[in-house]
Amino acid sequence: MAEQVRPAEHPIGMDGEHPGLCRLCVGYCPIMVTVEGGRAVKVTGDPAAPLFDGYTCPKGRALPEFHNGPERLLHCLRRTPDGKFERIASDAAVAEIAERVARIVAEHGPEAVALYSGTGATSSTIPSMVAGAWLRALGSPMFFTVSTIDKPGMAIGQARHGLWEAGHPPFEQAEAWVLIGSNPVISKTGGFPQNNPGMRLKEAVRRGLKLIVIDPRRNEVARKAHIHLQCLPGHDPEILTAMIHVILAEGLFDAEFLRVNADGFAALKEATAPFSPAVVAARAGLAEADLIAAARVFAGARTTGIFCGTGPNFATHGNLTEYLCNCLTTLCGHWAKAGDPLQKPNVLLPAWTGRAQPSPPWPEAAGVPLRVRGLRGNASGLPAAALADEILLPGKGQIKALFCLGGNPMMAFPDQQRTFEAMQALDLLVVLDPEMTATSELAHYVLPPPLMLETPGTSLLMESIKYLAHSRGIDQPYARYAPALVAPPEGSDLMGDWEFFYDLAKAMDLPLTVTVGYGNGSLKEAPPHRVPLDMAHRPTTDELTAMLLATSRIPLDEVKRYPHGHVFPVNEVVQERDPDCTARLDIGNAVMMEELAELAAAAAPVQDDEFPLLLVPKRVNHLVNSYGRQNPALNRKQPSNPLSLNPADAERMGLATGDTIHVRSPFGQIGALVEIDPDIRPGVASMTHCYGLNPDQPTDPARDGGNVGRLISVEDHPDPVTGIPRMGALPVVLLKRNR
């Protein structure tokens, strides 16, 4: 049921121009929303808001179409025996689902019920927390998160290396910055300022920041780079190892920092010895001098940042690549020092001050065991790449019911056909989604929620993301609250994302306690905050937000006083090392050193004659993964996902922009349109993900695009810990096709 309660300070649906908060991606841009006749009709940037300079992107400006567009679902749906959908009242849907879950639990046990929380759940931190509380109350550990098919190596790299409590120094102070397959101008991520990254980059380059970009595409950030290593994809661990090799050979490391803070120097030195810049330059298709220059620029800078994006995490060896980023920073002693401003000061999080000291490595694979590929819950979560198989594999532990919260597995998962079979094999698939997506189409129930201009929100995620990805998040002590600005469309009967799990728990007689954690691995900033919910009276989102934020450094009420957001005077400075601290970072982790030895013996992916191109992922500015494909304001210009190709490759293959081709990998085949792109390296092709249709529908490459997941096998180089298969640097061949 939609939340209709209005916060005292803002009358919902009042005409005029009101400050709001876009939460479509982690940018969390402040916006101005024009409301007319009770509906949002226009969204622009908010020039009165601090830090963002009035920035918005096309997605944020399309929020009115997301809210009022014809594709939005306004009623809950139930699948009928003939495969069609019919309306069902939201409370009736909850009652039916509760009954079906109870039956499944009685027959198969609670672990037959799983939850998948996707990117659509990140417009607020609350839905996943309440959904998690419900799953715990039910007794199921099967909480799959999208982070495991995103950058799972990041968490593993941190667990193996340990954390530097105070993180990196702030971006504004950095002298050099390395982006490895990460394009924050488009994606707003990457340990990079999330507040208008394009502008921040421009300013930084003007003040002399030396940006090093490692990417097979001359992407938006590479155009501003001091050094662009336009490598072949999949060679990132070797490139970073060569940089380490140079730093060691030339004595550019910080011996004193290492003596006090880190173990493993000798092991790292031995493991990196084979990777001379000459060897790696040949493998990665780079000039040796550029590799050496990158190492010198990095080591010569006083303060740096170094971050990986999805590209390297998809190209196999993601854990190693992420681990080596940590090692490089530690080798050079580039972490924040006592007296530096603290990089991610808590505002809505509890007060905490980082010290200039290590927090030790932690066990990376301590979670619930799965039944496939030897996988289990790990530092990055429960592997979503195993979800389809866990549904399909009969026997004890088989998943029978799946709740999909703001995710679209049919578009996003590797091996679309297997995912398709899995979704259909479920006894119960409940999809919480505002649209009829490829996954919704296979659901037994589709529950559309109120959208973000209809629900209050805070900037909490901009801070708490550091618990997943240390050193990411917002650099400034900034916080923001935004009230609901409009009511859901008249006549709609929606089901709120967190309210659903509350109502479901109530219908199943399960008490809920939401647990908010404040830490990452071995670093705990504050004890967990447990909030038991009153199961007799459902709180409003505002009330729940206040309860969950009861531990904030700056009280929520104070934050609410600034309708455009505020940079609070939290002048946290990194503290001296605790004299009792004995923790040490590890730059010689045995598993990682072994992986380096294997890499030394055999190069990472190379093209062969049968599949001569390497296909890499990229993101587009007008979508967040699949979200936006149905939005007329966003898909008008480009409804599909063309394959970009270097002009030299295109000429050799006799292809031109607009041609229709088959893209074939060793595993599958899809259709695509060609787009000639001089910014992509020869030998490499690039496509964005989350396009195409379900496998049972005829797909027109020009109208629907192609689903890259069909080219990817979950059994192709699955990482032994995270289960992520090869999703990038994918060998492909292009075949001409007559439409």
Ligand X SMILES: Nc1nc2c(c(=O)[nH]1)N[C@H]1C(S)=C(S)[C@@H](COP(=O)(O)OP(=O)(O)OC[C@H]3O[C@@H](n4cnc5c(=O)[nH]c(N)nc54)[C@H](O)[C@@H]3O)O[C@H]1N2
Q: Given the rule CB under 6 A, which residues bind ligand X? A: 25, 118-120, 123, 146, 149-150, 180-184, 186-190, 214-217, 219, 233-234, 236, 309-312, 315, 405-409, 411-412, 432-435, 437, 449, 497, 616-621, 623-627, 686, 689-690, 708-709, 727-729
Comparing CB distances to Mo ion, the nearer of 150 and 503 is: 150
**Could you tell me if residue 264 is left (phi over 0), alpha (psi between -120 and 50 degrees) or otherwise beta?**
left
Nearest 5°: the CA angle 715, 716, 722 is 70
DSSP-derived letter for residue 573 is B
Q: What is the edge-to-edge ordering of all strands in the sheet holding 85-88? A: 85-88, 76-79, 445-447, 428-432, 401-405, 113-117, 143-145
Comparing CB distances to Mo ion, the nearer of 236 and 542 is: 236
Comparing CB distances to ligand SF4, the nearer of 60 and 120 is: 60
Comparing CB distances to Mo ion, the nearer of 150 and 659 is: 150
Comparing CB distances to Mo ion, the nearer of 56 and 148 is: 148
Q: % helix / strand / coil in the chain, to the nearest 5?
A: 35, 20, 45
Residues forming beta bridges with residue 458, ordered by sequence position = 481
Q: Which does 385 bind (CB under 5 to 8 A by kind): Mo ion, ligand SF4, ligand X, none?
A: none
Q: Which does 46 bind (CB under 5 to 8 A by kind): ligand X, Mo ion, ligand SF4, none?
A: none
The residue nearest ligand SF4 at its CB is 60
Which residues touch 332 (CB under 8 Å, ≥6 apart)? 247, 252, 253, 254, 257, 298, 299, 304
Which residues touch 190 (CB under 8 Å, ≥6 apart)? 179, 182, 183, 184, 307, 309, 472
Q: Which does 60 bind (CB under 5 to 8 A by kind): ligand X, Mo ion, ligand SF4, none?
A: ligand SF4
Comparing CB distances to ligand X, the nearer of 277 and 407 is: 407
Span of 128-136, 146-154, 551-559, 718-726 interacting with Mo ion by CB under 5 A: 146-154
Tell me if 178 sits within 8 A of 214, measured CB to CB: yes
Comparing CB distances to ligand SF4, the nearer of 24 and 446 is: 24
Smallest distance from ligand X to CB 227, Å: 13
CA distance 561 to 564: 9
Smallest distance from ligand SF4 to CB 460, Å: 14
CA distance 167 to 307: 12
Comparing CB distances to ligand X, the nearer of 233 and 341 is: 233
Q: Which does 574 bind (CB under 5 to 8 A by kind): ligand SF4, ligand X, Mo ion, none?
A: none
Q: Which of 211, 115, 186, 67 is nearest to 501 (CA)?
A: 115
Q: Which does 318 bind (CB under 5 to 8 A by kind): ligand X, Mo ion, ligand SF4, none?
A: none
Q: From start to end of 558-683, where are the E strands?
A: 566-567, 585-586, 613-617, 643-645, 660-664, 669-676
Q: Which does 437 bind (CB under 5 to 8 A by kind): Mo ion, ligand X, ligand SF4, none?
A: ligand X
Comparing CB distances to ligand SF4, the nearer of 189 and 261 is: 189
N-terminal to C-terminal alpha carbon distance within the chain:
47
CA-CA-CA-CA torsion sign (468, 471, 472, 473): positive
Tell me if 278 sits within 8 A of 288, measured CB to CB: yes
Exposed (0-12), middle (13-18) or buried (19+): which is 198, by Cβ within 10 Å? middle
Q: Which of 213, 214, 192 is nearest to 203 (CA)?
A: 192
Comparing CB distances to ligand SF4, the nearer of 26 and 613 is: 26
Q: Which does 217 bind (CB under 5 to 8 A by kind): ligand X, ligand SF4, Mo ion, none?
A: ligand X
Smallest distance from ligand X to CB 354, Å: 25
Comparing CB distances to ligand SF4, the nearer of 161 and 188 is: 188
Comparing CB distances to ligand SF4, the nearer of 198 and 720 is: 198
Smallest distance from Mo ion to CB 411, Å: 12
Smallest distance from ligand SF4 to CB 199, Å: 12
Q: Which does 22 bind (CB under 5 to 8 A by kind): ligand SF4, ligand X, Mo ion, none?
A: ligand SF4
Residue 523 token pair: 């670093």
Q: Which of 586, 593, 594, 590 is nearest to 522 (CA)?
A: 586
Q: Which of 290, 270, 315 is nearest to 593 (CA)?
A: 270
Q: Which does 158 bind (CB under 5 to 8 A by kind): ligand X, Mo ion, ligand SF4, none?
A: none
* Position 150 contacts Mo ion (CB under 5 A): yes
Nearest 5°: the CA angle 163, 164, 165 is 100
Smallest distance from ligand SF4 to CB 459, Å: 11
Convert 698-721 into a string of H (helix), E (strand) and C (coil).
Answer: CCCHHHHCCCHHHHCCCCCCCCCC
Span of 41-49, 147-155, 209-217, 713-721 interacting with Mo ion by CB under 5 A: 147-155
Phi first, then psi, for residue 720 (nearest 5°) are -65, -25
Span of 150-158, 162-170, 467-475, 668-676 interacting with Mo ion by CB under 5 A: 150-158
Smallest distance from Mo ion to CB 146, Å: 6
Residue 604, CB-side half-sphere exposure with 13 Å CA sphere: 31
Smallest distance from ligand SF4 to CB 118, Å: 16
CA distance 32 to 579: 49
The residue nearest Mo ion at its CB is 150
Tokens 């173990």 appear where? Answer: 263
- Angle of helix 126-138 relative to helix 541-548, nearest 10 degrees? 80
Comparing CB distances to ligand X, the nearer of 463 and 525 is: 463
Smallest distance from ligand X to CB 86, Å: 21
Residues forming beta bridges with residue 355, ordered by sequence position = 575
Span of 149-157, 253-261, 367-375, 554-562 interacting with Mo ion by CB under 5 A: 149-157
Span of 145-153, 429-437, 564-572, 598-606 interacting with Mo ion by CB under 5 A: 145-153
Q: Which of 530, 566, 536 is nearest to 548 (CA)?
A: 530
Smallest distance from ligand X to CB 124, Å: 8
Smallest distance from ligand X to CB 733, Å: 17
- Compute how many residues bind Mo ion; rule: CB under 5 A: 1
Smallest distance from ligand X to CB 407, Å: 3
Tokens 């309660």 appear where? Answer: 5
Q: Which does 28 bind (CB under 5 to 8 A by kind): ligand SF4, ligand X, Mo ion, none?
A: ligand SF4
Q: How many other CB atoms are there within 10 angstroms of residue 174's CB atom?
A: 21
Which residues touch 679 (CB under 8 Å, ≥6 apart)? 217, 218, 219, 222
Tell me if 470 sits within 8 A of 163, measured CB to CB: yes
Comparing CB distances to Mo ion, the nearer of 140 and 626 is: 626
Comparing CB distances to Mo ion, the nearer of 182 and 665 is: 182
Smallest distance from Mo ion to CB 150, Å: 4
The residue nearest ligand X at its CB is 120
Q: Which of 646, 657, 739, 663 is nearest to 708 (CA)?
A: 663
Smallest distance from Mo ion to CB 685, Å: 21
- Angle of helix 90-108 relative to helix 497-507, nearest 10 degrees? 60
Comparing CB distances to ligand SF4, the nearer of 60 and 377 is: 60
Q: For strand 660-664 and strand 684-687, is the pairing parallel, antiparallel, or unpaired?
A: unpaired
Smallest distance from ligand X to CB 267, Å: 25
The residues that touch ligand SF4, with contacts defined as CB under 6 A, are 22, 24-25, 27-29, 56-57, 59-60, 188
Q: Which does 215 bind (CB under 5 to 8 A by kind): ligand X, ligand SF4, Mo ion, none?
A: ligand X
Q: Which does 419 bind (CB under 5 to 8 A by kind): ligand X, Mo ion, ligand SF4, none?
A: none
Comparing CB distances to ligand X, the nearer of 599 and 620 is: 620
Smallest distance from ligand X to CB 334, Å: 20
Sites of contact with Mo ion (CB under 5 A): 150
